[in-house]
């Protein structure tokens, strides 16, 4: 049986074969992804995608644990990374450690991800020194929506580009095993990828990154609106609607269930 990918193995992929990642929030889709990807992120985007929230801000540790466990149960091979949700880690390295340890213990995941650069570097170091592999996340950091004001791309002028590169350097030097670079101008993603030792995982970060990640529902065509950086590899929304509509028609016409879907009474054997 194949062994699970580890955070150090992802770290060692810098400059090698691109790291393939997707998000998943539940056991069955995670199982479908498992043999095709290196890493599965249980992202706090689940608040918006699965629970209909406007932003990721209200997502709780309990939500991350429920979905994280399901994804671990559905997989054998990929490294499972679980997001630390807003409000569960920013106040201090000690708070972050308690949250991260609880998530690793209760889900069986192999790493956590947290948002923020220079301001979170001390926390990243604190966790890594205590046995918690950390994935960084810089550029557009959706948990900061209330201070950022919008989900628009980052690093499109020189001053902002320098800030994002400094953020990536800080979490990399603090020991992050990889860094998500979200919605930044291509030259910024390229600079970060060239300058930091761990691999960069792009989402709206261009092919310059060491790997890529997308939200599964976005690339499957299950999200109504998607950002520029999403390629829709399938259109499952219309496929689901067509199936549901046919089912509804057949139930109303009493043509489903048909004979092959119905249990017959047991026939007693005559000996």
* Distance, CA of 148 to CA of 167 (rounded, Å): 16
Task: Name the catalytic one among 9, 62, 122, 182.
Answer: 182
**Binding of residue 211 to ligand KIV (CB under 6 A):** no
Chain positions 51 to 90 lying near ligand KIV, rule: CB under 6 A, are 83
- Residue 9 DSSP symbol: H
**Binding of residue 209 to ligand KIV (CB under 6 A):** no
**Binding of residue 103 to ligand KIV (CB under 6 A):** no
Instruction: Tell me the number of residues near Na ion by CB under 5 A.
Output: 3
**Binding of residue 164 to ligand KIV (CB under 6 A):** no
From residue 69, alpha-carbon distances to 7, 22, 66, 74, 93 in Å are: 18, 17, 6, 9, 24
Identify the bridge partners of residue 75 per DSSP, sorted by sequence position: none
Q: Which residue is listed with tokens 């902002």?
A: 160
Q: Taking a C-beta distance cutoff of 8 angstroms, is the pair 146, 58 a contact? A: no
Q: Which is nearer to ligand KIV, 23 or 99 (CB)?
A: 23
**Binding of residue 182 to Na ion (CB under 5 A):** no
| Residue 115 is labelled as binding a ligand | yes
From residue 198, alpha-carbon distances to 45, 143, 172, 177, 233 in Å are: 24, 23, 6, 6, 28
Q: State yes or no: is 186 an active-site residue.
A: no
| Residue 83 is labelled as binding a ligand | yes
Binding residues for Mg(2+): 44, 83, 115
By CB under 6 A, name the binding residues for ligand KIV: 23, 41, 43-45, 83, 180, 203, 213, 215
By CB under 5 A, name the binding residues for Na ion: 43-44, 83
């Amino acid at each position: 049986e194949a062994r699970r990918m580890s955070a150090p193995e992802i770290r060692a992929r810098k400059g090698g074969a691109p790291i393939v990642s997707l998000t998943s929030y539940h056991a069955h889709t995670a199982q479908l992804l498992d043999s095709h990807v290196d890493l599965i992120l249980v992202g706090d985007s689940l608040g918006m995608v699965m629970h209909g929230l406007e932003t990721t801000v209200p997502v709780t540790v309990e939500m991350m644990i429920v979905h994280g466990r399901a994804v671990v149960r559905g997989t054998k091979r990929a490294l499972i990374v679980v997001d630390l949700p807003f409000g569960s880690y920013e106040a201090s390295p000690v708070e972050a450690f308690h949250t991260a340890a609880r998530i690793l213990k209760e889900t069986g995941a192999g790493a956590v991800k947290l948002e923020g650069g220079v301001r979170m570097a001390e926390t990243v170091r604190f966790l890594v020194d205590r046995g918690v592999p950390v994935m960084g996340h810089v550029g557009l950091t959706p948990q900061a929506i209330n201070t950022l004001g919008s989900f628009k791309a980052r690093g499109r002028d020189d001053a902002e580009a320098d800030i994002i590169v400094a953020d990536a350097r800080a979490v990399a030097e603090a020991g992050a095993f990889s860094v998500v670079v979200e919605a930044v101008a291509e030259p910024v993603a390229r600079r970060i990828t060239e300058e930091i030792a761990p691999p960069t995982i792009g989402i709206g970060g261009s092919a310059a990154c060491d790997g890529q990640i997308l939200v599964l529902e976005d690339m499957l065509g299950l999200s109504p609106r998607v950002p520029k950086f999403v390629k829709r590899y399938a259109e499952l929304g219309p496929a689901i609607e067509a199936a549901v509509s046919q089912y509804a028609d057949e139930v109303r016409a009493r043509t489903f269930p048909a004979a092959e879907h119905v249990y017959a009474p047991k026939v007693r054997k005559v000996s």
